[in-house]
Amino acid sequence: MTCRFSAVSSGYLTLNENKEMIFLKHLNLKDFTRIAMIAAIYTAVSLALAPISFSNIQVRIAEALTILPLIYEPSIWGVTLGCFLTNLIGAATGVNPTGMIDAAVGTSATFLAAVCTWKLRDKTIGKVPVWSILMPVIFNFFFVGSELAVLFFDGNFVLGLLIMGTEVAVGEMISCALGCVLVKALARTRVFEPSVSRD
C-alpha cells in the first residue's frame, strides 16, 4: 500500500516558531474539542470491537488514529486519552484480560508512538513518512509484547516477547495501514486546520 502525502507542506501542522512540541497550555477551545472527539472515537470504536481490541491477537482498528499526528500534533493527546480510557474501561468491565496494567503500559506505548510519529513526520522514503507510520508498530511490539510476555510467559520472557510482540505488531500494521488511508483523506480537508497560536 502506498501512502503519499507531505505532512510538512500540507499546511495543517501546528508548530510554534521554534518547532517544539505544543503542550496543553498552548491549545485553545477548538483544539480541546478535537482532542475530546478523537479520544471519544478511539474509545467507542475499541470497545465496540472489544473482541479484536485486546489481548495478543488483536487488530485495534482505533489505532489507525495514531497516525493523525502526521497532520495534527494535538491529536497526540487525543489518542493517548482514548487509549487510556479504553484500557481502563476494558479492565474494569473484564473485556481486557491484561487488567489495569494495560492502562499504564499500553497507554505509554501509544503516547510515545504518537510523539515519535509527529517528530519523524518529515523523514520520508519516496515521499512516504515510513518511520512515522512504523512507530506504533515498533512501540507496541516492545511495550505490549513485554507486558503480555510477563503475564503469560512466566520464566521465558524473550520467547514471550517474540511471539506476543509479533502478534501485536501484525495487528498494529493493519491498523496503521488504515490510518495511512485516513490521514491521506483528512489532509485534503480543513478538519484539522491550524488553530494554535504561534507566539
Task: Return per-residue pLDDT of the chain as tens, 199 residues.
Answer: 445 554 443 333 334 444 455 556 678 889 999 999 999 999 999 999 999 898 777 899 999 999 999 999 999 999 999 999 999 999 999 999 888 999 999 999 999 999 999 999 999 999 899 999 999 999 999 999 999 999 999 889 999 999 999 999 999 999 999 999 999 999 888 788 654 444 3
Dihedral pair phi/psi, residue 53, rounded to 5°: -100, -10
Please give the Cα distance from 196 to 17 (Å, whole number).
11
Name residue 125's beta-bridge partners. Answer: 128
Question: Residues near 162 by Cβ (< 8 Å), separated by ≥ 6?
Answer: 145
d(CA 17, CA 72): 16
Spatial contact of 64 and 182, defined as CB atoms under 8 Å apart:
yes
C-alpha closest to that of 107 among 123, 124, 87, 126? 87
In angstroms, what is the C-alpha Rg of the chain? 17
- Cα–Cα distance, 98 to 100 (Å, whole number): 7
According to DSSP, residue 128 is labeled: B
Dist CA 78 CA 41 (whole Å):
9
Pairwise CA distance, residues 99 & 97, whole Å: 5
Is there a contact between 184 and 3 (Cβ–Cβ < 8 Å)? yes
For residues 93 and 83, is the Cβ–Cβ distance under 8 A?
Answer: no
Q: What is the CATH number of domain 25-186?
A: 1.10.1760
Predicted confidence at residue 127, as pLDDT, reads 87
Interatomic CA distance for residues 23 and 103, integer angstroms: 22
Vertex 68, ends 4 and 66: CA angle to 5°?
A: 110
